[in-house]
Structure 1
Amino acid sequence: MHKDEHGLAMSSASDAAARHYDRAVHELLHFRAEVDAEAEAALAEDPGFPMGNVLAAYLGLLTTEPADARRARERFARFRSGVDVTALPSREQAHVHAVQALLDGDLLTCGTLLGRITEEHPRDALALIAGHQIDFLTGDARALRDRVGGALSAWGEDDRHYGHLLGMYAFGLEEAGHYDRSEEVGLRAVELNPKDVWGVHAVAHTYEMQGRFGEGVRYLDDRLADWSTGTFFNVHTWWHYSLYALEAGATGRVLDIYDSVLAGGETAMEMLDAAALLWRLHLEGGDQTERWKVLSDTWVPRMEEPFYAFNDMHAVMSYVGAGRIAEAERLIAGREDYVAGEHATTNHAMTARVGLPVCRALVAFGRRDYGGVVDLLHPIRHRINEFGGSHAQRDAVHKTLVEAAIRAGRSEARVLVSERISIRPRSPFNWLKQSAVADDLGARAAARARAEELVRQAALPFR
């Protein structure tokens, strides 16, 4: 019986397999591609290594890529056929059951089972990061905060991964609305480990949620070497940088980042970042048709089967942006057939309650049926989180609702803009929308002047 680096026993592992497992978890916490090689090395040393097989399954399923999920299901089924799960230690049994729930499409049960593991084994780093990602995929802000927060007392600064836990906790605090505490914890996480891209990302989210776009740009600029290369998370962090540039009205800078970093993404996470950025430009009237055409082609092979409603939304954005409305409608029709069937999966509920209304609204926006967009999105706006992602990512939906309400001349526009300004008074975007809904020319001019002043105050190196 071997132990991982955090003192937890692992069965049926050679010493070499155990060390590869430790290195794989370390790379996973850094969001580095080397995690795959280390996970494979662990299984090469011991193909029946339970925690090695569990780790490999999580890696295959948390990418939200259907092809990765199929391979993970087949591989884990082979592992299970050769092992008596009831003979495994209780922690490993629990992981096997959590993975099986995930393989079966039941993200909520997987998250619950991982939570139980964490309660009994708070130093199980894999249970924590896998559970954290499940909470992200299901948009559960409370669990993003408390899953890690409930385990922190079992860790100390002498643990080399303590900073990574702080980075995860900072993100949970931000998603739960505790911005001051999130900034404090996130900055400490990055102080302990400058290469903690999830911690950097948590701080970026905190600044975004408060409209502190100038500070966000300077924070990311100061740490460029730490987050911009060497991880499979660098594209997403550049996306956050682009959101700051959008607030400053620096469309040229945004497109430079898109063309040099976001365009040509090969993973679902990279593709949805690209779609989400172009959609924000689309809402403001920017014509990115050629970029949309290239991006929309990459979504086609991934949309053959329902897998994750959040990805469906970004595919529909791409089809609408490229003028492929008929293709967007075919995707929606396929998802309607899926929802009409019997599927005991989390994605089934996500698609029915949020995914389909959002996708229909995007098509309505593309058809300039702005009143239809409002009718579809306004009733669900307070439960958009149910199909996953972060507040920053889901803001594309809320901005679509705001823009549609303004264009349709709906009374909801004033209320929606007032809500945004009340929460983020430092956001130039919000003040520009206030200018669009103001009752008289004086109020419109004052709101626009406020937006311009906020951009000047940010003193960014680009405009």
Structure 2
Amino acid sequence: MATDRHAHAMTHTGAEAVRHYEKALDNLLFFREETAAEAGATLDASPRSAMGNVLRAYLGLLGTEEKDAAEAATAFAAYRKDVPVAELTPRERIHVEAASSWLGGDFHKAGRLLAELVVAYPKDALALAVGHQTDFFTGNAALLRDRIGGALSAWDEHDPHYGLLQGMYAFGLEEAGHYTRAEHVGLEAVERNPRDVWGIHAVVHSYEMQGRHEDGIRFLDNRTDDWSTGNYLTVHNWWHYALYILETGRTDDVLAVYDAAVHHDGSAGSAMELLDAAALLWRLYLADTDTGDRWPVLADAWAARHDGPYYAFNDVHAVMAYVGADRLPDAERLIHDRRTWLEGAGTGAGVSNVAMTAGIGLPACRALVAYGQRRYGDVVDELLPLRRRFQFFGGSHAQRDVLQKTLVEAALRAGRHDLARTLLSERAGLRPQCPYDLEARARLARATAFRAGRED
């Protein structure tokens, strides 16, 4: 029986298919656009390959695209009907169960299964990479750190994949709050593999969370050729670049990056790209910045997707676009659709998005609509109970900060000054030099002074 480079048996997989599988895995770890082609070549060479079919299933899930997941589910069901699980190795059986669980909507279970798998097979790079992404989609900072950290000691530091695992580990460290350690590990990962865009991304996050925006700009500028083309994270890292610029107050430059790299006529319209676009424009919306005709264009792009209730994190960003474009009926329609879906879903056992939508997605969507209607007190009432639970519907600290800023802005505009002071004090303790926080505190000081003057 053929094996991969780490001696894992690969059932029904010939030597040619193994070569394509290894190339696909390399491309996946580097987030290269050639991943899908190599995965397809694996199955062309060995259609009944267990790991080839598992890989194709995972690729249909990682983009959080409902249509891709449905196609992957159909293909994987046909594979499972053709190849009895009894023919597979124990490792492959767990992969099949994990992929099936995620295709069925339970990516929490998929993540748990993959965590169990790497205890016995810590050098299964696919299990580590896909499990890492389930941790990201579920906002599990501890597992983002420990899933990779728990396997690293089993790896030879000279293994070609070791540095890529360091990049993942650095992101987990950052999400778990170990910013200095994350920066160190991330820089080491990028030193090993300059085009490790996930490692670059981890360093970028560590600077973001420390308010080191100028450092972040320099870091990305010095490595532009390594991250700005040919990978699935290109748009996302440009989004980070725009966030840094936004903190410096150069709004025109932010919009230039938006137009050139985040959303434009040539954009693919994928959920991951559109949510970055919405999150960036929403930050400008909170600052009452004129963004021209960008909101209507973005809202059209979201509407053209016709998304069902698949991932609440995406829904929230679609609502941002509808509110920003003053298309409140579209926002209300999405909210009504998700509420109706929840009523029919019952307890939703085994479907991760049920709890995500009910617990975070719908209240956040209602808050965004209320913000668009200037019902700032209602925004506070919706978001305040959630502010320490936003992570449960996925994303990173940097991504979810858009909701934290929405809460701060709503508190300021609703005259909830004591709450605004508390929120801003918390933020200042983490990022003392953050320009947004300093400006918001100045606004609060003026508002409280004005109120005190009137009361006198």
After TM superposition, the score normalised by the length of structure 2 is 0.96
Return the offset for 1:147.
0.2
Distance 2:220 2:359 in 1: 36
Q: CA deviation at 1:439?
A: 5.7
Q: 1:352 to 1:442 in 2, by over 3 A?
A: closer
Q: How far apart are the structure 2 equivalents of 1:279 and 1:7?
A: 48
- More off after superposition, 284-293 vs 61-70: 284-293
State the match for 2:143 in structure 1. Answer: 143
User: How far did residue 301 of structure 1 move?
Assistant: 3.7
For 1:336, the equivalent position in structure 2 comes to 339
Give the C-alpha shift of residue 340 in structure 1: 1.4
Q: Tell me which residue corresponds to 2:454.
A: none
- Which residue is equivalent to 1:201? 201
CA deviation map 1:341-386 (0-9, x unaligned): 2233100000000000000000000000001000000011000000
Q: For residue 447 of structure 1, what is the aligned residue in structure 2?
A: none
Q: Is 1:420 aligned to residue 427 of structure 2?
A: yes
Equivalent residue number for residue 319 of structure 1: 322
Match of 1:95 in 2: 95
Q: How does 1:28-43 map to 2 (within 5 A)?
A: 28-43=28-43
Aligned mates of 2:292, 2:419 — CA distance in 1: 30
Residue 283, structure 1, aligned to residue 286, structure 2: yes
Contact 1:278 1:288 in 2 (8 A): yes
Q: Does 1:178 align with 2:178?
A: yes
The equivalent of 1:13 in structure 2 is 13
Q: Deviations over 1:153-191 (max 9, x none)?
A: 011221001110000000000000001110110000000
TM alignment of 1:72-91, pairs within 5 A: 72-91=72-91
Deviates more, 1:199-208 or 1:411-420: 411-420
Q: Report the 3-state secondary structure (helix = DSSP H, G, I; strand = E; otherwise coil) of the residue aligned with 1:10.
A: coil
* Pairwise CA distance, 1:2: 1.1
Q: What is aligned with 2:453?
A: none
Note the alpha carbon deviations across 1:222-265, whole angstroms, 9 max, x for none.
00100001111111000000110011001011000000111133
Question: Retained in 2: the 8 A contact 1:30–1:196?
Answer: yes
Please state whether the residue corresponding to 1:62 is helix, strand or coil: coil
**Displacement of 1:27:** 0.1
Query: Aligned partners of 2:186, 2:441: CA distance in 1, in Å?
Result: 32
Distance (whole Å) between structure 2 residues aligned to residue 319 and residue 350 of structure 1? 21
Which residue matches 1:431? 438
Secondary structure in structure 2 of the residue aligned to 1:3: coil
Matched, 1:118 2:121: no
1:3, distance to aligned residue in structure 2 (A): 1.2
Q: 1:244, 1:183 → 2: CA distance?
A: 17
Aligned match of 2:270: 267
Q: Does the alignment pair 1:400 with 2:400? A: no
Report how far residue 116 of structure 1 moved: 0.7
For the 8 Å contact 1:303–1:331, the answer to whether it is kept is no
Deviations, residues 394-444 of structure 1 (Å, cap 9, x unaligned):
00000000001101110211111111111110211110011011168999x
Q: Which runs of 5+ in 2 are unaligned?
A: 451-456
* CA distance, structure 2, for counterparts of residue 241 and residue 337 of structure 1: 38
Contact 2:255 2:291 in 1 (8 A): no
Kindly provide the CA deviation profile for residues 58-109 of structure 1, in whole angstroms up to 9, marking residues without a partner as x. 0001111111011000000110010111221100000000000001100110
Residue of 303, 314, 318 corresponding to 1:300: 303
In the alignment, the residues of structure 2 paired with residue 172 and residue 304 of structure 1 have an alpha-carbon distance, to the nearest angstrom, of: 29
- 1:356 and 1:75 map into 2 onto residues whose CA distance is 32
**Residues of 2 paired with 1:229 and 1:7: CA distance?**
33
Q: Which residue matches 2:107?
A: 107
Moved over 4 A (4+): 439-443
Which letter maps to 2:438?
Answer: W
Contact 1:402 1:417 in 2 (8 A): yes
Identify the match of residue 363 of structure 1 among 362, 369, 372: 369
SS of 2:160's equivalent in the other structure is coil
Query: C-alpha distance in 1, partners of 2:7/2:55?
Result: 17
**Identity across matched positions, percent:** 56
| Deviation larger for 112-121 or 5-14 | 5-14
Contact 2:66-2:307 within 8 A present in 1 as well:
no
The corresponding residue for 1:155 is 155
Distance 1:263 1:437 in 2: 34
Residue 318 to residue 289, structure 1, CA distance change in 2 (3 Å): farther
SS of aligned partner of 1:159: coil
The amino acid of 2:436's aligned partner reads F
Q: Output the CA distance in 2 between the equivalents of 1:442 and 1:328.
A: 37
Distance 1:65 1:157, change over 3 A: same
> After the TM superposition, which residues 208-219 of structure 1 pair with which residues of structure 2 at under 5 Å, given as runs?
208-219=208-219
Aligned pairs for 1:232-271 (under 5 A) are: 232-264=232-264, 265=267, 266-271=269-274
Give SS of 1:438's match.
helix
**Which stretch has the larger CA shift, 159-168 or 433-442?**
433-442
Give the partner amino acid of 1:335: R
The change in CA–CA distance for 1:52 and 1:333 in structure 2 (over 3 A counts) is same
What is the count of residue pairs matched by the alignment? Answer: 443
Task: Give the match for residue 457 of structure 1.
Answer: none
RMSD: 1.3
Aligned-pair CA distance for 1:300? 1.5
Comparing 156-165 with 46-55, greater Cα deviation is found at: 156-165
Query: What is the SS of the residue equivalent to 1:12?
Result: coil
Residue pair 1:20, 1:41 contacting (<8 A) in 2 also: yes
User: Measured at CA, do residues 441 and 62 of structure 1 come closer, stay the same or move farther in structure 2, by a change above 3 Å?
Assistant: closer
TM-score between both structures, scaled by the size of structure 1: 0.94
Specify the code of the residue in structure 2 equivalent to 1:72.
A
Secondary structure of the residue aligned to 1:64 is coil
